[in-house]
Amino acid sequence: MSRVVLLDPGGGLEPVRDALRECDGVSVERGERMPHGAGVVGVLVPPEIPVDAGAVAALPDLRIVAATATGYDHFDLDAISAAGAWATYCPGYCTEEVAEHAIAFALDLLRGVSVLDRFVRAGGWDVDPAPPRRVSGAVLGIIGLGRIGRAVARRACALDMRVIGTDPAIADAHIDGVEVVPLGTLLARAEVVTLHALLVPGAPPVLGATELAMMRPGAYLINCARAGLVDRDALGAALREGRLAGCAVDVLSHEPPSAAEPEFEWPRTIVNPHAAWYSPEAADEPYRRAGEAVAAVLSGREPRDALARPA
């Protein structure tokens, strides 16, 4: 019997099994790490598990690698294609959720909600740790104007924020209510910067020490995309030195984190457990779509949202 392995610990097996009911002789199982050996025809993989040339070579019957997420920087697409397999991903399944989370972070940072809550619980009773700022008229800078970045922009405009954005793939001066500017201009002007760019394997962080130093003094940073988009040490230094007023991160370099992760020691920092994607509506969607992609390949059809095809 051919095997399909779901490697995402948070994913449900039932949406995958439902999608594969049309495929005879296929079992669906859960695994904690990349499998190896004969018989495995499909793997469904979250962002935390890399799929490199070695992993692909260990699966001689592999026909498809399906990401259960929008990001796919954990895939070696050339290796997957060279092995005669497909690669797919799930764009757009949690666009609304991530956009809403980013806006929630922006409101929280500007109004000081979480920091002041912790302060009161520790015995304080004033606004000094995080003086609330007016949201209306605040400048929000969006790095990456794809599906999620534009969804963030729509919500920010509804809150009467001034929205600027940057994206190397967009040459227009304005798009969807966003003033498109160079990265340096965005960093100098924005009171809140939110990241919604793809992580390119091997590329330097979008926000390294140089870029973080260009940010407007007292600005806030939000990262609901990928931890590798920001130089973690440089960000920690900017927060400790008071050059940035605070940050909110939903993604960490190590997930789940240890108690010793530096983010837990940064001042005026909100940390969430990679939760921006989640809602009951979005919970099953990536697994259903990944399962449908596997079913299509096993049935001789081209899968939806293909990243790589068999060489």
Catalytic residue among 63, 101, 216, 226: 226
Widest CA span of the chain, in angstroms?
65
- At residue 65's C-alpha, the angle toward residues 100 and 283, to 5°, is 30
Phi/psi for 212 (5° steps) reads: -65, -35
The answer to whether 111 and 132 are in contact (CB under 8 A) is yes
Which residues, 6+ apart, have CB-to-CB distance to 126 below 8 Å? none
- The type of residue at 167 is D
Whether 189 sits among the annotated catalytic residues: the reply is: no
Strand partners, 195: 143, 223
Strands (E) across 101-161 are located at 139-143
Place of tokens 């040459």: 171
The token duo for 211 is 């870029």
Catalytic residue among 255, 265, 281, 302: 255
Phi/psi for 54 (5° steps) reads: -65, -40
Whether 274 sits among the annotated catalytic residues: the reply is: yes
Dist. CA 79–CA 65, nearest whole Å = 11
Catalytic residue among 3, 74, 216, 274: 274
- The type of residue at 237 is A
> Which residues are annotated as catalytic?
226, 255, 274
